[in-house]
Structure 1
Amino acid sequence: MWFKHLHLYRLHGAPELDPTDLESALEAQAFRPLGGSEARRLGWTMPAGRAGTQRLHELQGQRLLTALRQERLLPAAVVREELEERVDALETAEGRKLRRQEKLTLKEQIYEELLPRAFVRSQKVDLWWDTRRNLIAVNTSSRKRAEEILDLLRETLGSLKVTPLATQTLPMRAMTTWLGDPASRPADLQLGDQVELKAKGDDGVLRARQVDLDSDEIQQLLENGRQASKLALAIEGRLSFVLHDDLAVKSLNFDDALIDEASQADDGDDAVVRLETDFLLMTQALAESIERLIVWLGGESSPADDAPSA
């Protein structure tokens, strides 16, 4: 249940739906298995898997939804190889070169023929909706995948106005400052052992893992103008993560004390109770940590703040 990545969004004008109405809306957009000629499909599924009977879990204003995505994997190289064979055969049989449009038509035909026989890959993506803070977080490493899940939620609700969470201080600027000036670091913030440094010019990106981020080598790189685009951080007693320059939070690891608290909770061997217990403890830790992070980054920036002046 414990999330590994977060793409964060601010919800504006949140639709007022009670759990029963939202469950019905999710049911209307429930996942259905891929048809033979479909390339991909997305829909809502049970967060608790086979043990679950509902698509929505809501506890103390925290909502958990899970999308299931299926897609057929048809490598371009397979289509290309089949196309080459058929083009060669036709050109030999007809004694002429096929036109470009004929090749494109043949390629589409091959794709349609091979697609039903392609392997199917399934992926679950969890979404956390904090109704108290009007915050949505999607548990995926991909911004594109997060936006896809938001599109599904928008279709489910009829409308959904969200914007990526943004702060007054750009994450890259704050991370570079924290890295170069220990005195600037908030009291509860600790540096990890991973960083990505970008140069202003064309010198590329430098990535370092399992290093002392306060070392002279790192400080010299900062003095030469490099800026931190990713930085491993930890909030004492809560969690560790890698902050990205787009405010994505990745490689989440929760503190052992929090995991122990969850494992000691009495769930009666009920998978749904276990899921909800873990989810509630996780969201409490995440909500507190996100609020701290926003403060450390100078407060939240509204869409109006980012708009160009007239």
Structure 2
Amino acid sequence: MFPKAFHLYRVHDQDVLLDTVPFEEALAELRFRPVSPREARRVGWAPPAGKRSEALSHEIQRHMLLTMLKQERLLPAAVINEEVAERVEAREAAEGQPLSRRERQLLKEQVLEELLPQAFTTTKRFELWWDTANRIIGINAGSRKAAEEALDLLRQTLGSLKVTPLVTKTPPSRGMTQWLSDPGSRPATLLLGDQVELRATEDEGVLRAKSVDLDSEEMQSLLENGRLAAKMGIGIEGLARFQLHDDLSIKGLQFDDALLDEASQADDGDDPAVRLETDFALWSDAMSKVIASLLEWLGGEADPSMPSEATP
């Protein structure tokens, strides 16, 4: 399993207790179970290696891996509103007078109670990677909201946990714009990709481009007109390629072929836990190096309580 995205956080607690046995027991207290007929959603911890494994956490060289499952019932608001409207109309016709706001709310609650058990469910999986040595957490999720849900579950598990989004002294938008406009400013190991999202400083919208030459004259002209890079495809030699976003999130993550080849050639004895730990050891080490490089390239880590350098 190689992740595709990360939202990055700084852990501020210095004395979080992560002893294997008590931590595994704490995870088990919030183990995932499917939603009941009366529940709209539920989250909980699940074995990272899948159903054939019981372990709720894996730790390798001070890197920890957890998996959160979130299950929700699919009950669109339009379906609820339509049913409520029909019942309101029928009641008003029968009683000869409009229903009060309170009566409408009670009808809506009744509709929810009746329809929820019939709704289909969808289940999503989110990985939480914790580099305990460097006190960084990465959530493999497509949105910041989903990442925060995983952090909330971790806080419930530990009792408390102080984290903030990882922030650099030079905003990623400014750094990416500089790398585009001034090739000489690019770090030696930075690989330029072929996609970018440029944001105008005024109401000119957002320009998105894929499979383009980011060193072209057209691109330079756009930058000279004041556009800033909000997202850009980059890579780090020997590690990975990805899209760096202006909030320092990483998406579209593709690890270097050498890492993938090493993982595929490893003998796991058809044991899902061994397979997962082999992959985890490779990509967690690579991600630590990716984050270290990004922090270096963007002027170091900023104090989250202080404003970062202003974007021009």
Give, in whole Å, the separation in 1 of the partners of 2:159 and 2:205. 43
Instruction: Determine the structure 2 residue equivalent to 1:277.
Output: 278
Classify the secondary structure of the residue corresponding to 1:120: strand
Corresponding letter in the other structure for 1:13: D
Matched ranges for 1:285-300 at <5 A: 285-300=286-301
Distance across 1 between alignment mates of 2:101 and 2:133: 57
> For residue 10 of structure 1, what is the aligned residue in structure 2?
10
Following superposition of structure 1 onto structure 2, how do residues 105-184 of structure 1 map, counting pairs within 5 Å?
Answer: 105-184=106-185
> Distance between the aligned counterparts of 1:305 and 1:298, measured in 2?
15
Cα–Cα, structure 1 residues 66 and 90, in superposed 2: closer, same or farther, change >3 Å? same
Per the TM alignment, residue 237 of structure 1 is displaced from its structure 2 partner at its CA by 1.6
Alignment of 1:228-267 (within 5 A): 228-267=229-268
Distance across 1 between alignment mates of 2:61 and 2:256 = 22
Evaluate the alpha carbon distance shift between residue 223 and residue 36 of structure 1 in structure 2; reply closer, same or farther with a 3 A threshold.
same
- The answer to whether the Cα contact below 8 Å between 2:38 and 2:117 also exists between their aligned partners in 1 is yes
3-state SS, counterpart of residue 233 of structure 1? strand
How far did 1:306 drift? 3.3
Deviation of 1:80 (Å):
1.4
The residue number in structure 2 matching 1:81 is 82
Q: Which runs of 5+ in 1 are unaligned?
A: none
Segment drifting more, 211-220 vs 297-306: 297-306
Q: TM-score, normalised by structure 2?
A: 0.96
* 3-state SS in 2 of match to 1:201: coil
Provide the aligned C-alpha RMSD in A. 1.2
Cα distance, 1:240 vs structure 2 = 0.3
Q: Which residue of 2 aligns with 1:39?
A: 40
Q: What is the CA-CA distance between 1:104 and the residue it aligns to?
A: 2.4
CA distance in 1, matches of 2:192, 2:144: 25
Secondary structure of the residue that 1:64 maps to in structure 2? strand
Instruction: Give the distance between the partners of 1:303 and 1:88, measured in 2 at CA.
Output: 54
- Cα separation, 2, equivalents of 1:25 and 1:92: 55
* Cα distance in 2 between the residues matched to 1:207 and 1:100: 46
Residue equivalent to 2:188:
187
Per the alignment, residue 220 of structure 2 pairs with 219
Whole-Å Cα distance in 1 between the matches of residues 58 and 282 of structure 2? 14
Q: Deviations over 1:92-124 (max 9, x none)?
A: 212222233322221222112111111111111
Deviations 1:193-251 (A, max 9, x none): 11111111111111111111111111111111110000000111211000000000111
Identity %: 59
Measured in 2, the distance between the counterparts of 1:58 and 1:302 equals: 29
Pair 1:104-2:105 in alignment: yes
Tell me, what secondary structure is at the counterpart of 2:51?
A: helix
Matches within 5 A, 1:13-28: 13-14=13-14, 15-28=16-29
**Separation of aligned partners in 1, 2:108 and 2:225:** 51
Runs of at least 5 residues in structure 2 that lack an aligned partner in the other structure? none
Determine the C-alpha separation between the residues in 2 that align with 1:77 and 1:167.
42
Shift of 1:135: 0.7
What's the offset of the Cα at 1:166? 0.5
Structure 2 letter corresponding to 1:5: A
Local SS of the residue matching 1:166? coil
TM-score by length of 1: 0.96
Deviation, structure 1 residue 36: 1.4
* 2:306 partner SS: helix
Q: Size of the alignment, in residue pairs?
A: 307
Contact 2:50 2:272 in 1 (8 A): no
The aligned amino acid for 1:159 is: S
Assess if the C-alpha contact under 8 Å between 2:174 and 2:229 holds in 1.
yes
Q: CA deviation at 1:289?
A: 1.0
